Structure 1
Amino acid sequence: MKKKKKSFSVKPVFLFAVAGFLILGSTVGSTRAALTYYSENYAVQAEVSKIGISLLENGEIISKRDYDKDNQWMEEHGELLKNLVGKDEKFALGKAYDEALTVQNSGSIDTFVRVILTKSWTDADGNKNTRLSPDLIDLNLLTDNGWVIDESATTRERTVLYYTRLLPAGESAPAISDTLTVDPSIGTKVKEQVVSEEDGKKTIKTIYEYDGYHFTIDAEADAVQTHNAQDAIKSAWGIDVTVSEDGNSISLQ
């Protein structure tokens, strides 16, 4: 009798907020990181309890979620961008700040991993403003070290990256990014509004388009076990991949 395929999916979401970066009167710099786990059971005995993944920023673990020996989730989470600027330093437009993001296989089995990064501008209530350009939030991505961008699933806001090499248990993937820069041109993006007109004279108010908005970067990491990787990845991520003969790497089709 054909065994029923089982799936495993957990999506905890952690919100990390950074306050105090003032640009034109707005608080800039909130980031959310979501750690997502997928594993398909194609063996007689499931190994989902051995999967774990951690998000690292500049070499430090910011968030992690793993199974412990009692098959209970063990999680830790902190704040991204917390140390983006020094204690007495003011956030500067156009400056490239160190922002090396990557993932670590904190489980006990080898996995393939995916990361989804989303950039946006939000108001004080957390509402996205799609009129404002995510291109002005420059998270410099590195794609010459095993990471590859899925262009078919990528938009101006959303970038989907796959690490094409097997990630052994306990090891970290190379950095996905190295710097974060906010384009200084946001300080010149203004619009004028006539607020009053009397005796043929107009009073015009200059409004900065990005005033009062936060930039946000959402990072979502997924792990898939390597057993029967082609089918597992198709089931978990909905994409077709080719697995190398030795099972140590994948390529997007």
Structure 2
Amino acid sequence: MKKVKSIFMKPTILLGIAAVLLLGSGVGSARAALTYYSDQYSASMDMSTIGVSLKENGKVVSSKTYDDQGDATTNGEGKLLQNLLKDDEKFALGKTYDEKLAVENSGNIDTFVRVVLTKSWQDKEGKNVDLSPALIELGFNQDGWVINEAQSTDERVVLYYTKVVESKKTTPDFMKTIRISNQLSTMYTKVEDKKTIKYQYTYNGYTFTLDAEVDAVQTHNAKDAIKSAWGIDVNVNDDETKLSLG
């Protein structure tokens, strides 16, 4: 079994939040699904509770906390994007919509947190399509959050909060807005017959998806814990309250 010196417990809590929007037909439901995995070490374990919650526009949509017996408690499986559109409003390409997401430390120990956002397109059978994930445009907040460009692609964005998140405290929003590029309106095929001309848009029947994964790692021996949990080297100050990417 893998051992890490001076680390009592390295829990990683993963909240998987899938947001799906069908273009041209309004907002679809998105159920919050949560999973958990962690490495256990043979050293004495600190049984303090650790937990994280994902907040959307100030409200908790999903959370998971582990008690001192190692049992999980899941509180709420909400739906994302439910209030993205006003009554009778149709989704519009090129329009910027408010979608504020943040992380709350719902455990009783201080943690560092990471968020991984994954963007993709699917057809009616749920298969990935050729549309670029870059057409799904997200607006981010610079207040304490940093994007790891080396780990990010058009499909995936990896963000780290550079300050410790104290118990029961909430980070600033890491995401502020969502927008589907108006470039989609130029992607179509012209179909002509003897009497009519029709335009078949590439995105007809497609959905876009946004998955948010939230990880929490203890602050004790943070540099080694983060290396073990997230596989990256970071710099941590002496009192283990701030980190920076190496």
Normalised by the shorter chain, which TM-score bucket?
Answer: 0.7 to 0.9
Cα distance, 1:234 vs structure 2: 0.4
The amino acid across from 1:116 in the alignment is V
- Alignment partner of 1:206 out of 196, 199, 202: 199
Structure 1 residues 8, 227: CA separation in 2 closer, same or farther (over 3 Å shift)? same
Instruction: Check conservation: 2:113, 2:214, Cα contact below 8 A.
Output: yes
Q: Which has the larger radius of gyration?
A: 1
Structure 1, unmatched stretches of 5+, are none
Q: Distance in 1 between matches of 2:108 and 2:152?
A: 31
The amino acid across from 2:97 in the alignment is Y
Taking the TM superposition and a 5 Å limit, the aligned residue runs for 1:180-199 are 180-192=178-190
DSSP-derived class of the 2:82 partner = coil
Structure 1 residues 158, 4: CA separation in 2 closer, same or farther (over 3 Å shift)? closer
Taking the TM superposition and a 5 Å limit, the aligned residue runs for 1:17-166 are 17=20, 22-23=23-24, 45-47=44-46, 50-68=49-67, 71-75=70-74, 76-129=76-129, 131-143=130-142, 145-166=143-164
Structure 1 partner of 2:215: 222
Cα distance, 1:204 vs structure 2: 7.3
Cα distance, 1:125 vs structure 2: 2.2
1:247 aligned to 2:240? yes
Structure 1 partner of 2:225: 232
Cα distance, 1:192 vs structure 2: 3.9
**CA-atom RMSD, angstroms?**
2.9
DSSP-derived class of the 1:140 partner = strand
Cα distance, 1:157 vs structure 2: 0.8
Cα distance, 1:114 vs structure 2: 0.2
The amino acid across from 2:119 in the alignment is K
Structure 2 partner of 1:178: 176
Runs of 4+ in 1 over 3 A off after TM superposition: 3-18, 26-45, 68-71, 201-206
Q: Deviations over 1:117-171 (max 9, x none)?
A: 1111111222111x2022221110112x110011111000100000011110100
DSSP-derived class of the 1:186 partner = helix
Moved more, 217-226 or 90-99: 90-99
TM-score, normalized by length of structure 1? 0.82
Q: Deviations over 1:183-240 (max 9, x none)?
A: 223122112468x8xxxx7997632111111111110000000011111000000000
Cα distance, 1:46 vs structure 2: 2.1
Cα distance, 1:97 vs structure 2: 1.4
TM-score, normalized by length of structure 2? 0.84
Moved more, 3-12 or 167-176: 3-12
Structure 1 residues 211, 114: CA separation in 2 closer, same or farther (over 3 Å shift)? same
Structure 2, unmatched stretches of 5+, are none
The amino acid across from 2:225 in the alignment is A
Identical amino acids, percent of aligned pairs: 50
Structure 1 residues 133, 48: CA separation in 2 closer, same or farther (over 3 Å shift)? farther
User: How many residues end up aligned between the 2 structures?
Assistant: 240
Instruction: Check conservation: 2:51, 2:63, Cα contact below 8 A.
Output: yes
Structure 1 residues 149, 13: CA separation in 2 closer, same or farther (over 3 Å shift)? closer
